[in-house]
């Protein structure tokens, strides 16, 4: 597994350095890398999506365990490095690199990633760039059911949002979508010294496992309704209720989005869907 000295050497040889605008904080604690891969449950034959692979430290660990890895790297310099370091290494034909943004928009995977993954079940195992975490997790949860497990390191603030309860300041669209579609497990807290360069925030390792019976089969509509309502977080939901053909039982027009439970959001999403032609 790559040491910090090896990572620095790889970058120095190519005149590269970590870019803050891309959220490049490389996870350098080998035990935590193994812990994340262990938690994901992947093994020989597993299809893994890794977003933000950096210099390929975790990529190599996944390949050594027999996984097929589709890696997505936005940084052109790191993408070139990965082709040299990983492309011809232990993974052989089990490594595919997609160069570019993992998202075509805030709510859709890139066509290149979709093409590389196809219709196959896959697992997300990533030390996610902070800026990509919320839109990527929301997109996978609501639109890509073939992603069964998401084992990631993310900013602790985002981890708090995943399991936030109604009425708390962290409660928002990703809280509702995650709790309606998956179990959420906190695996570990990661202090800044686990990364290079050290970030200014604490991180968390979490695992989301998709429920066999989610609260709704139409998670995409649920996500759209959550986004719509939370865009007016402090406003009473009467404006939204007036657009529905009927008012779901137990939901008052004077309530605010932050007061609604995930099952109540599902009720509203079903009422919204019933209006569609």
**pLDDT single digits (tens) 113-142:** 999 999 999 999 999 998 899 999 999 999
pLDDT score, position 117:
97
Average pLDDT over residues 56-77: 97
Furthest CA-CA distance within the chain:
64
Under the banding of pLDDT at 50, 70 and 90, the label for residue 63 is very high
Taking the C-alpha atoms of residue 222 and residue 150, their distance in angstroms, rounded to an integer, is 20
Average pLDDT over residues 25-42: 97
* pTM of the full structure: 0.95
197 is written with which tokens? 């360069």
Segments of 164-225 assigned E as strands:
182-190, 195-196, 203-210
Helix, strand, coil in percent for the chain, rounding step 5: 45, 20, 35
Taking the C-alpha atoms of residue 213 and residue 116, their distance in angstroms, rounded to an integer, is 27
CB neighbours of residue 190 within 10 Å: 23
Average pLDDT over residues 214-224: 97
pLDDT score, position 277:
45
Whether residue 110 contacts residue 103, with contact meaning beta carbons closer than 8 Å, is answered with: yes
The predicted-structure confidence for 242-255, as pLDDT tens digits, reads as follows 988 888 999 999 99
90 is written with which tokens? 């232990």
- Better-predicted residue by pLDDT, 132 or 272: 132
Under the banding of pLDDT at 50, 70 and 90, the label for residue 90 is low
Handedness of CA 101, 196, 49, 154 (dihedral sign): negative
Angle at 50 between CA 45 and CA 54, to 5 degrees: 130
At which residue do the structure tokens 């300041």 appear?
Answer: 169
Under the banding of pLDDT at 50, 70 and 90, the label for residue 87 is confident
Whether residue 265 contacts residue 273, with contact meaning beta carbons closer than 8 Å, is answered with: no
- Better-predicted residue by pLDDT, 120 or 88: 120
Under the banding of pLDDT at 50, 70 and 90, the label for residue 272 is confident
Average pLDDT over residues 12-41: 96
Strand partners for 190: 203
pLDDT score, position 91:
66
CA distances from 262 to 34, 104, 176, 222, 226 (A): 33, 27, 5, 9, 10
Q: Say whether pLDDT at 69 is over 50.
A: yes
Whether residue 238 contacts residue 251, with contact meaning beta carbons closer than 8 Å, is answered with: no
DSSP-derived 3-state class of residue 3 = coil
* Mean pLDDT over each residue of the chain, to the nearest integer: 95
All domains in the chain, ordered by first residue: 4-210 (3.40.50.150), 219-275 (1.10.8)
Taking the C-alpha atoms of residue 146 and residue 166, their distance in angstroms, rounded to an integer, is 28
Whether residue 40 contacts residue 149, with contact meaning beta carbons closer than 8 Å, is answered with: yes
Whether residue 75 contacts residue 19, with contact meaning beta carbons closer than 8 Å, is answered with: yes
């Amino acid at each position: 597994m790559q040491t910090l000295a090896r990572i620095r050497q790889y970058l120095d040889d190519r005149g590269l350095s970590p870019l803050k605008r891309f959220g490049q904080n490389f996870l350098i604690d080998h035990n935590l890398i193994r812990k994340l891969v262990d938690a994901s449950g992947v093994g020989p034959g597993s299809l893994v999506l890794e977003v933000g692979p950096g210099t390929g430290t975790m990529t190599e660990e996944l390949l050594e365990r027999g996984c097929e890895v589709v890696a997505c790297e936005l940084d052109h310099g790191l993408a070139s490095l990965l082709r040299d370091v990983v492309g011809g290494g232990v993974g052989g034909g089990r490594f595919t690199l997609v160069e570019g943004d993992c998202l075509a928009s805030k709510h859709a995977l890139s066509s290149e990633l979709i093409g590389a993954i196809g219709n196959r079940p896959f697992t997300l195992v990533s030390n996610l760039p902070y800026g990509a975490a919320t839109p990527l997790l929301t997109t996978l949860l609501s639109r890509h059911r073939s992603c069964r497990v998401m084992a990631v390191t993310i900013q602790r603030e985002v981890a708090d949002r995943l399991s936030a309860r109604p009425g708390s300041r962290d409660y928002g669209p990703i809280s509702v979508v995650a709790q309606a579609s998956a179990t959420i497990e906190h695996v570990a807290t990661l202090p800044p010294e686990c990364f290079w360069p050290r970030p200014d925030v604490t991180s968390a390792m979490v695992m989301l496992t998709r429920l066999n019976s989610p609260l709704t089969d139409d998670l995409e509509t649920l996500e759209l309704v959550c986004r719509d309502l939370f865009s007016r977080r402090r406003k009473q939901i009467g404006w939204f209720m007036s657009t529905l053909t009927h008012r779901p039982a137990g939901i008052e027009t004077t309530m605010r989005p932050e007061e609604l439970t995930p099952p109540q959001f599902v009720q509203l999403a079903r009422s919204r869907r019933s209006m569609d032609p």
